[in-house]
């Protein structure tokens, strides 16, 4: 396993005319980690990724890799590689030649670049399709080729721009486990842009939540999920209820809310069976919407229907106060 490399963003800013897409962000990426940049469309996550890659100019600030400022270097000189959302494979080249293309551009001889391409194709389990054209591959197979092509130059950091968005749900789940396995084997930093909370939680050692051009919260996936700092993070990460309290707001996870004989009065607005649990949506007398995730055996022992009055309860220790 290769040792990871330090990547640091220092006061990084991106402007498009009068619009600020990324505003003065600072962050150090842990070496050899899988990091997901998570947030809604337009929050600045893709602009951040593209600046790291060198596909967008930095308006202000620096990008440091191993302590050296790479923010003004061309993409090929940075030590990073980017896997694009649409894969961007050359339709007239074979799978092997697609993977070897950047080595060809560097003047590497054919036997050497093909040998290296074959190593990467073996890594992503695509050796048997090396002579095919991209149009003869499925979406998942094209993704593997794009991944091998990005890795062929032995980057210090791999950048992935919503790499799973074009895949069907079943393949998406399979491919994310393969991405995580590959990252662990290579030992390099993966920075993966997504707007999917489930994807980020499944993949990331660290989640960086972006909102309105800034980093709203960053930390280990479990910490961001369990202890969101702001109302935005609590609502965006999902599975949390935001409760108004004297002096501020707090969150309580939906799986911590129970239907009890005593507690906060509410009315059931919707019931959704989810297999292992049942999602019961309610509205309190003050108009707050509160979701309760009830284990399915408990729910069906005392089922509820929309319009029924219920009482909501939770352990006070499960209440988490928000900073903003």
Q: How far apart are CA 298 and CA 304, in angstroms?
A: 11
Share of the chain above pLDDT 70, in %: 98
pLDDT at 175 (0 to 100): 86
Share of the chain above pLDDT 90, in %: 81
pLDDT at 4 (0 to 100): 54
Please, which residues have CB within 8 angstroms of residue 279's CB and are 6 or more apart in sequence? 254, 270, 271, 272, 291, 292, 293
Q: Going by DSSP bridges, is the β-strand pair 248-253/240-245 parallel, antiparallel, or unpaired?
A: antiparallel
The per-residue pLDDT for range 192-203, each reduced to its tens digit, is 999 999 999 999
Q: How many CB atoms lie within 10 A of CB 235?
A: 14
Q: What's the mean pLDDT in 103-107?
A: 90
Read off φ and ψ for residue 241, nearest 5 degrees.
-105, 140
Q: Would the pLDDT of 1 be above 70?
A: no
Q: What's the mean pLDDT in 2-30?
A: 90
pLDDT at 87 (0 to 100): 80
Q: How far apart are CA 135 and CA 88, in angstroms?
A: 12
Q: Would the pLDDT of 2 be above 60?
A: no
Q: What is the mean pLDDT of the chain?
A: 93
The per-residue pLDDT for range 127-183, each reduced to its tens digit, is 999 999 999 998 889 989 999 999 998 999 999 998 888 788 888 888 888 899 999
| Cβ-count burial 106-140 (b if 16+ within 10 Å, e if not) | eebeeeebbebbbebbebbebeebbeebbeebeeb
pLDDT at 212 (0 to 100): 96
The per-residue pLDDT for range 200-213, each reduced to its tens digit, is 999 999 999 999 99
pLDDT at 216 (0 to 100): 97
User: Spelled out in words, what is the top-level CATH class assigned to the domain 7-226?
Assistant: alpha beta
Sign of CA dihedral 218, 222, 227, 231: positive
pLDDT at 165 (0 to 100): 83
Q: How far apart are CA 217 and CA 211, in angstroms?
A: 9
Q: How far apart are CA 146 and CA 140, in angstroms?
A: 10
Q: How far apart are CA 246 and CA 174, in angstroms?
A: 45
Q: Would the pLDDT of 324 be above 80?
A: no
The per-residue pLDDT for range 264-322, each reduced to its tens digit, is 999 999 999 999 999 999 999 989 899 999 999 999 999 999 999 999 999 999 999 99
Domain ranges of the chain: 7-226, 245-321
pLDDT at 169 (0 to 100): 84
Cα–Cα distances (Å) from 232 to 223, 250, 269, 289, in that order, read 15, 12, 23, 16
Q: Would the pLDDT of 20 be above 90?
A: yes
Task: Tell me the fold of 245-321.
Answer: OB fold (Dihydrolipoamide Acetyltransferase, E2P) (2.40.50)
Proportion of the chain in helix, strand, coil states, percent, rounded to 5: 35, 35, 35
Lowest mean pLDDT: which of 3-7, 46-50, 82-86, 250-254?
3-7
pLDDT at 88 (0 to 100): 82
């Amino acid at each position: 396993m290769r040792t990871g490399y330090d990547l640091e963003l220092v006061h990084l800013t991106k402007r498009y005319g009068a619009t600020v897409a990324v505003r003065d962000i600072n962050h150090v990426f842990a070496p050899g980690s899988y990091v997901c940049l998570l947030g809604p469309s337009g929050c600045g996550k893709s602009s951040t990724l593209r600046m790291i890659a060198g596909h967008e100019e930095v308006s202000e600030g620096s990008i440091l890799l191993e302590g050296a400022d790479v923010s003004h270097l061309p993409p090929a000189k940075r030590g990073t590689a980017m896997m694009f959302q649409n894969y961007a494979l050359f339709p007239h080249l074979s799978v092997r030649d697609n993977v070897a293309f950047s080595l060809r551009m560097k003047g590497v001889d054919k036997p050497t670049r093909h040998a290296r391409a074959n190593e990467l194709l073996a890594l992503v389990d695509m050796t048997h399709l090396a002579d095919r054209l991209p149009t003869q591959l499925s979406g998942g197979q094209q993704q593997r080729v794009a991944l091998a092509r990005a890795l062929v130059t032995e980057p210090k950091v791999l950048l992935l721009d919503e790499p799973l968005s074009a895949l069907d749900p079943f393949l998406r789940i399979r491919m994310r486990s393969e991405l995580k396995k590959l990252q662990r084997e290579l030992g390099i930093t993966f920075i993966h842009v997504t707007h999917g909370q489930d994807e980020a939680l499944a993949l990331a050692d660290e989640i960086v939540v972006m909102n309105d051009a800034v980093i709203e919260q960053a930390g280990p996936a479990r910490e961001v999920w369990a202890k969101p700092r702001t109302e935005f993070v609590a609502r965006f990460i999902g599975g949390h209820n935001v409760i108004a309290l004297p002096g501020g707001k707090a969150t309580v996870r939906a799986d911590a809310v129970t239907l009890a004989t005593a507690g906060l009065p509410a009315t059931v607005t919707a019931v959704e069976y989810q297999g292992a649990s049942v999602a019961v949506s309610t509205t309190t007398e003050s108009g707050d919407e509160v979701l309760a995730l009830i284990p399915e055996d408990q729910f069906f022992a005392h089922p509820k229907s929309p319009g029924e009055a219920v009482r909501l309860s939770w352990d006070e220790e499960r209440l988490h106060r928000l900073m903003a």
